[in-house]
Every structure is written in structure tokens, then in C-alpha cells.
Structure 1
Amino acid sequence: MAHFVYIMASRPCGALYTGRTQDLGARVEAHRTGMCVHTAKYNIRRLVWFERHDCYETSLRRERAIKRWRRDWKIALITQSNPNWHDITSQISG
């Protein structure tokens, strides 16, 4: 089963949220409907980066590592693959 590590944002270089899930589509929808306190408070609704992992442990280590990163490193990670910070929800598969 696939595991996803993802970053959502309120706007380009705005508030960020890093998370991990097995069902990325459902998790993004939960953020958008306000079911998550932090993302609702800061209006974080845009999926700007994600990566797929085949192993739970690998995804857990990656999420924890990214959460410890400095903000500018997270911004660089997002900008490298999504320079305009578009919502990439349509790219979710599997």
C-alpha cells in the first residue's frame, strides 16, 4: 500500500503544513473542509508537494525529517518541483 508525505500551503511562501497519510486525496479534502484545526486556522488548502513511498517506515522517517527542516529548506523543496506553487491535487494517483 502506498504512503504519502505531503506539504500544503495557504499561498506561495505562506503558512505550511507537512503530513503523512495512506489516502492523500481524502486527507487533502479533510484539510480543505476544515476538519484539521491548524490548516483551518491558517487557511491552508493548497497541496503543493508530495512524494509516494511504498513503506510505512520510510514515509514516517521522511515526514519527521521534513518537519525538522528549516522553513527555507521546505520552500526550496516545493519550489524545485512546483515553482509557481500551483495546487497539484490532480497529480495524485495510486
Structure 2
Amino acid sequence: MKQSYVYIIKCSDGSYYTGVSSNLSSRLYKHNFGFYPDCYTFNKRPLELVFYCEFTDINIAIEKEKQIKKWSKIKKEALINGEFESLINLAKKRFHK
């Protein structure tokens, strides 16, 4: 089975970019060398890979990428730092006034 990867890149401005790819090294190379001028990361280089995980099913990888993209910066940093027990408590909560 072909591997797929969900990855998080830290941008030079401190923001994070989350993506999915079946060839992680090629995708990182393209991000770092500005292969995609319309990409979020183009003007935020240099970039640093701070997290990735492997999947054997691309559909699950895409689902997880979409999920992580909705997370707050704090929750993404907990994932990056391996603080898995904190993730549930960092869910976005909406409070009505």
C-alpha cells in the first residue's frame, strides 16, 4: 500500500500550514523552494517541518488533514509537542452571552 502523510510546517511568521501528500520529501522541497506561488507558504519561507504522521489510506489522511486545519494554534502546538492528553481539552468552545 502506498503511504500518505499529514504534515505540519512552521512558517517564518510563526503560523502553521497543514497539508497531505503521498511524497513528503518532494512536497517539502516544493514548499521550501516556492514551487507553488499561490500557496500559503510561498511568502512565509523559510519553513520547518514540525510534525508528520503516516497513513496507509489516503482518504483517512485527507480527513485528518481537514480536521487539523480547523484546530487552534494552541491545539496544533500540543499535537506537535506530543501532548496528546491535552488535545481533548483544547477543543474550540463556543459560549453564548
Distance 2:53 2:78 in 1: 15
Q: Secondary structure at the match of 2:31?
A: helix
User: Shift of residue 44 of structure 1?
Assistant: 4.7
Larger Rg: 2
User: Shift of residue 10 of structure 1?
Assistant: 2.3
> In angstroms, what is the RMSD of aligned CA positions?
1.7
Q: Secondary structure at the match of 2:14?
A: coil
Aligned residue pair count:
80
TM-score scaled by length of structure 1? 0.77
Note if 1:29 corresponds to 2:22.
Answer: no
TM-score scaled by length of structure 2? 0.75
Match in the other structure for 2:40:
38
Relative contact order, higher structure (CA 8 A, sep 6+): 1
Distance 2:19 2:51 in 1: 11
Distance 2:46 2:15 in 1: 7
